[in-house]
DNA sequence: CTGAAAGCGCTTACAG
DNA sequence: CTGAAAGCGCTTACAG
């Protein structure tokens, strides 16, 4: 390459890094050679040499790519990154700590300028180590205990509270809760919201109908079956995330039960196909895309100014009232009485 | 690090690469030092030095991460890779050629041993270049024209044919088709299946009701509205992928139309929440997870033996008959007459 | 303004 | 069995 242009590799490097000092004609010569050879510098070598140089790549650690909530987040991050000439590389660790560690190692040593992560739990040591090593980090969805870190999430407690309150105002008093994995901070926050609402309306907290296992489809289906099989089953079920909701729906449909007449259901997480569900699902909507966008913004700021104070962005949820909680039956009643 | 163990960096390197030649005691010394310092080799330097050494990382180029079909594929790839001590790094190019190029550059120069890609179109030059450069490549979902490449896909034409035939047997003769982006090979294959079925049953091909734009939700909603607004609207609509289906459903529901009485719908792509849709969706199921698994298997084989003959794996689709095409109304009729 | 040289952190023939 | 040395492809002070 340098031969082709008849200059030294040093000069080529200068041209590539648009060093103003290079003479115009030399620059042209080099540029032509670059064109002709379709040359592009070896990024691995660049990285090895210049540790400070930014790679314009962000690492994204996602706990579960099958969860549509994260898909929205990813889109938000990616679009913002792309608009800032950066790219995003995703590692999906499926909520497995070993896999998380593997992806961290890979992304760390390969290229990334920083990470956006949803820690597998509140005391995630791998993420904490990353922070100690000085990597720019932004957490999404879940924070880290005893560690200062930028965070973008939603007010989970408030979101859950609103959902339960909505159910209570509709007349439900025995409300089951299929929670997610209790090692995940958001699960606990949603649980707190549930309890807060029940207490506020002087309703008993029956541990028998507060059940949790994993945060997936299967758990949703299984635990809903358990709830429905109880001698005194709940009249309404609150599901802790969209996968659990779908599992619950599967169980309910397979038993030929009518929603919301036989059992009402309200889910945490709204999805773009909520309105196509049977019946349209009432749900607590998290602004996933916005979470992604904001977290990427924070990361870029952090990369530029590693000393700026830590920021916590708590976004609001929105209760999307549709037909799965009894609003429909009320409407029907109204129509009947006309 | 080498100092700590009192040996040369060369010896450390040998231990790290489990070179049998190292004396046992030396090895122990080094291992202890590694433990103590929690040392791990710099992957960037490793890569720079040993171009032949595999990184155990596969690059995955996905056209649209919002499409649940690809999510299944990703899971299949990832689990297989993980079982083979490899990791997957995903680049989501959103069906944008520029983004695709960007991610190729990134993944290429960073680390990957090979790529699994869904080419943005049949003559995707970037992918072709990658092949020319000698990268191990496996294509999924879509092949490459005039280029030998490993491929895992589904028999799209057959799948579409089955869907249309099912509709015809149910009595539909005017069947609308909301196709995806016509630059994507699968769109064309599905179109061929549609035409094949219509011809086989001597039904006219009316270009007015064969409409396509992009492969996304919005196009599905918009084109379905167009179809429904026709003076002579179709009695059934075939949607070319799951996003289009959802868009179509949105339009149909928002008009208060009854499926399948007012209009039947059958979609390409099954999703895990198909049974929760209103009504449960009849769909052509692609084995996404299996596509992923097989493609990863092929890639690993290709990496090990770059000269093995090119393989094309065509998997079968499965028609999941549920309630959105009129099967339900038939059942209802049956019940009525009893 | 440009080149020669050092060095980023490894691996691997080559000596010994 | 182990170390010294070369070299992977860059970048960047340092000379000139």
Q: Residue A286 above 70 pLDDT?
A: yes
Look at the block and give the residue holding tokens 């059940």: A211
**How far is it, in rounded angstroms, from Cα B114 to Cα A240?**
39
Is B85 near chain A, with CB under 8 Å?
Answer: no
DSSP assignments along A272-299, one per residue? TTGGGBSSPPEEEE--HHHHHHHHHHHH
Q: Residue B262 above 90 pLDDT?
A: yes
| Residue B308: half-sphere exposure toward Cβ, Cα within 13 Å | 14
In this structure, whether the domain defined by A2-41 belongs to CATH 3.40.50.1820 is answered with no
**How far is it, in rounded angstroms, from Cα B101 to Cα B222?**
30
Of residues B273 and A336, more confidence is placed in B273
**How far is it, in rounded angstroms, from Cα A262 to Cα A253?**
11
Q: Residue B333 above 70 pLDDT?
A: no
Nucleotide whose C1' lies closest to the alpha carbon of residue A13: D11
Q: Sheet containing B264-268: which strands, arranged edge to edge?
A: B210-212, B175-179, B236-239, B264-268, B282-285, B318-320
Does the CB of A50 fall within 7 Å of any strand D atom?
yes
Contact flag A106-B89 (C-beta cutoff 8 Å) = yes
Of residues B38 and A310, more confidence is placed in A310
What 3-state class would DSSP assign to A160? helix
Q: Residue B178 above 80 pLDDT?
A: yes
Which DSSP letter does residue A240 get? S
Which residue in chain B is spatially nearest to A70 when comparing CA positions? Answer: B66
Of the candidates B124, B110, B95, which has an alpha carbon nearest to the alpha carbon of residue B59? B110
pLDDT mean over A223-227: 98
Superfamily of the domain at A156-287+320-337: Response regulator (3.40.50.2300)
Other C-beta atoms within 10 Å of A158: how many?
A: 18
Of the candidates A247, A102, A90, A225, which has an alpha carbon nearest to the alpha carbon of residue A180? A247
**pLDDT level of residue A52 (50, 70, 90 thresholds):** low
**How far is it, in rounded angstroms, from Cα A159 to Cα A141?**
13
**pLDDT level of residue B89 (50, 70, 90 thresholds):** confident
Task: Find the range with the poorest average confidence among A30-34, A178-182, B47-51, B242-246.
Answer: B47-51
Does the CB of A13 fall within 7 Å of any strand D atom?
yes
Contact flag B43-A277 (C-beta cutoff 8 Å) = no
- Number of residues written out for chain A: 338
Element of type H or E holding A314: strand A312-315
Contact flag B253-A275 (C-beta cutoff 8 Å) = yes
Which residue in chain B is spatially nearest to A107 when comparing CA positions? Answer: B89
> What tokens does B194 get?
């549609």
**How far is it, in rounded angstroms, from Cα A77 to Cα B259?**
37
**C-beta of residue B188 within 8 angstroms of C-beta of residue B122:** no
Does the CB of A43 fall within 7 Å of any strand D atom?
no
Of residues B325 and B338, more confidence is placed in B325
Q: Is A106 exposed, middle or buried, given 0-12, 13-18 or 19+ CB atoms closer than 10 A?
A: buried
Does the CB of A188 fall within 7 Å of any strand D atom?
no
At residue B328, the pLDDT reads 38
Residue numbers in A near B40 (CB within 8 A): 105, 109
At residue A139, the pLDDT reads 97
Is B322 near chain A, with CB under 8 Å?
Answer: no
Of the candidates B225, B217, B276, B229, which has an alpha carbon nearest to the alpha carbon of residue B251? B225
Of residues A12 and A175, more confidence is placed in A175
What angle do the packed helices B9-16 and B24-37 form, to 10 degrees? 90
Task: Find the range with the poorest average confidence among B49-53, B81-85, B205-209, B291-295.
Answer: B49-53
Contact flag A48-B48 (C-beta cutoff 8 Å) = yes
Mean pLDDT across chain A: 89
- As a whole number of angstroms, the longest Cα–Cα distance in chain A is 91
Residue numbers in A near B115 (CB within 8 A): none
**How far is it, in rounded angstroms, from Cα A325 to Cα A89?**
40
Q: Give the residue from A55, A79, A273 with the most B CB atoms within 10 Å of its CB, the best one to mutate.
A: A273
pLDDT mean over A138-154: 94
Do strands B312-315 and B150-154 pair parallel, antiparallel, or not at all (unpaired)? parallel
Mean pLDDT across chain B: 89
Which residue in chain A is spatially nearest to B259 when comparing CA positions? Answer: A276
User: Which bases in strand C are touched by protein, i.e. have an atom under 7 Å from a CB?
Assistant: 1-5, 7-13
Residue numbers in A near B277 (CB within 8 A): 273, 276-278
Cα distances (angstroms) measured from residue A227 to each of A62, A163, A212, A231: 30, 19, 11, 9
Which CATH number is B57-154+288-315's, of 3.20.20.70, 2.40.50.140, 3.40.50.2300, 3.50.30.30? Answer: 3.40.50.2300
User: Which of A40-44, B135-139, B276-280 is modeled with the greatest confidence?
Assistant: B135-139
Of residues B323 and A111, more confidence is placed in B323
pLDDT mean over B146-158: 96
Element of type H or E holding A62: strand A57-62
Which DSSP letter does residue A11 get? H
Contact flag A57-B272 (C-beta cutoff 8 Å) = no
pLDDT mean over B127-133: 85
Q: Residue A213 above 90 pLDDT?
A: yes
**C-beta of residue A158 within 8 angstroms of C-beta of residue A124:** no
What 3-state class would DSSP assign to A125? helix
Which DSSP letter does residue A208 get? G
In this structure, whether the domain defined by A57-155+289-317 belongs to CATH 3.40.50.2300 is answered with yes
pLDDT mean over A147-166: 97
**How far is it, in rounded angstroms, from Cα A66 to Cα A218?**
13
Task: Indicate the domain borders of chain B.
Answer: 2-41, 57-154+288-315, 156-287+320-337
**How far is it, in rounded angstroms, from Cα B83 to Cα A43?**
29
Look at the block and give the residue holding tokens 């969706």: B281
At residue A60, the pLDDT reads 93
**How far is it, in rounded angstroms, from Cα A198 to Cα A176?**
11
pLDDT mean over B165-169: 98
At residue A287, the pLDDT reads 97
Contact flag B246-A273 (C-beta cutoff 8 Å) = yes
Nucleotide whose C1' lies closest to the alpha carbon of residue B14: C11
Of the candidates B70, B111, B113, B109, which has an alpha carbon nearest to the alpha carbon of residue B92? B70
Which residue in chain B is spatially nearest to A252 when comparing CA positions? Answer: B276
Is A75 near chain B, with CB under 8 Å?
Answer: yes
**Model confidence over A232-280: pLDDT tens digits?**
999 999 999 999 999 999 899 889 899 999 999 999 999 888 888 878 9
**How far is it, in rounded angstroms, from Cα B49 to Cα B139?**
29
Q: Residue A222 above 60 pLDDT?
A: yes
Does the CB of A42 fall within 7 Å of any strand D atom?
yes
At residue A51, the pLDDT reads 59
**pLDDT level of residue B332 (50, 70, 90 thresholds):** very low
At residue B304, the pLDDT reads 83
What 3-state class would DSSP assign to A173? coil
What angle do the packed helices B125-132 and B97-110 form, to 10 degrees? 20
Does the CB of B25 fall within 7 Å of any strand D atom?
yes
Q: Residue B51 above 70 pLDDT?
A: no
At residue B110, the pLDDT reads 65
Q: Residue A31 above 50 pLDDT?
A: yes
At residue A148, the pLDDT reads 92
3-state secondary structure chain B: CHHHHCCCHHHHHHHHCCCCCCCHHHHHHHHHHHHHHCCCCCHHHHHHHCCCCCCCEEEEEECCCCCHHHHHHHHHHHHHHHHCCCEEEEEECCCCHHHHHHHHHHHHHHCCCEEEECCCCCCCHHHHHHHHCCCCEEEECCCCCCCCCEEEEECHHHHHHHHHHHHHHCCCCCEEEEECCCCCHHHHHHHHHHHHHHHHCCCCCCHHHEEECCCCHHHHHHHHHHHHHCCCCCCEEEECCHHHHHHHHHHHHHCCCCCCCCCEEEEECCCCCHHHECCCCEEEECCHHHHHHHHHHHHHHHHHCCCCCCCEEEECCEEECCCCCCHHHHHHHHHHHC
User: Which bases in strand D are touched by protein, i.e. have an atom under 7 Å from a CB?
Assistant: 1-5, 7-13
pTM: predicted TM-score of the whole model, two decimal places: 0.81
Asked, colleague to colleague, whether B57-154+288-315 and B156-287+320-337 share their fold, the answer is yes
Of the candidates A316, A286, A314, A285, which has an alpha carbon nearest to the alpha carbon of residue A298? A314
Task: Find the range with the poorest average confidence among A45-49, A332-336, B70-74, B248-252.
Answer: A332-336
At residue B199, the pLDDT reads 98
Q: Is B233 exposed, middle or buried, given 0-12, 13-18 or 19+ CB atoms closer than 10 A?
A: middle
Q: Residue B191 above 90 pLDDT?
A: yes
Of the candidates B142, B169, B156, which has an alpha carbon nearest to the alpha carbon of residue B295? B142
Residue numbers in B near A44 (CB within 8 A): 44, 47-48, 109-110
What is the percentage of chain B residues whose pLDDT exceeds 90? Answer: 54
**Model confidence over B298-326: pLDDT tens digits?**
999 998 887 899 999 999 999 999 999 97
Is B125 near chain A, with CB under 8 Å?
Answer: no
């Amino acid at each position: 390459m340098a031969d082709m242009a008849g200059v030294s590799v040093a000069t080529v490097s200068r041209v590539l890094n648009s060093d103003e000092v290079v003479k115009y004609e030399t620059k042209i010569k080099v540029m032509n050679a670059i064109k002709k050879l379709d040359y592009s510098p070896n990024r691995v070598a660049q990285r090895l040499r210049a540790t400070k140089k930014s790679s314009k790549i962000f690492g994204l650690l996602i706990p579960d790519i099958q969860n549509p909530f994260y898909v929205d987040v990813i889109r938000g991050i990616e679009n913002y990154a792309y608009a800032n000439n950066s790219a995003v590389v995703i590692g999906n660790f499926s909520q497995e700590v070993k896999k998380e560690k593997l992806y961290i190692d890979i992304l760390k040593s390969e290229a990334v300028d920083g990470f956006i992560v949803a820690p597998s739990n509140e005391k995630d040591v791998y993420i904490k180590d990353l922070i100690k090593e000085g990597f720019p980090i932004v957490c999404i969805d879940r924070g880290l205990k005893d560690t200062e870190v930028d965070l973008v999430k939603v007010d989970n407690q408030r979101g859950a509270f609103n959902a339960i309150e909505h159910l209570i105002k509709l007349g439900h008093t025995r409300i089951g809760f299929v929670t997610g994995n209790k090692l995940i901070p958001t699960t606990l926050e949603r649980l707190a919201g549930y309890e807060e609402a029940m207490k506020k309306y002087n309703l008993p907290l029956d541990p028998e109908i507060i059940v949790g296992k994993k945060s997936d489809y299967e758990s949703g289906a299984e635990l809903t079956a358990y709830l429905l099989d109880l001698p005194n089953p709940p009249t309404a079920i609150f599901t802790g995330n969209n996968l659990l909701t779908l599992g619950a729906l599967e169980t309910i449909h397979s038993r030929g039960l009518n929603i919301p007449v036989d059992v009402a259901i309200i889910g945490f997480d709204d999805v773009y196909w909520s309105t196509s569900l049977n019946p349209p699902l009432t749900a607590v909507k998290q602004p996933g895309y916005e979470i992604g966008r904001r977290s990427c913004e924070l990361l870029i700021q952090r990369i530029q100014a590693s000393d700026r104070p830590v920021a916590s962005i708590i976004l609001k949820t929105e209760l999307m009232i549709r037909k799965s909680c009894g609003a429909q039956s009320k409407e029907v009643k109204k129509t009947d009485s006309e």
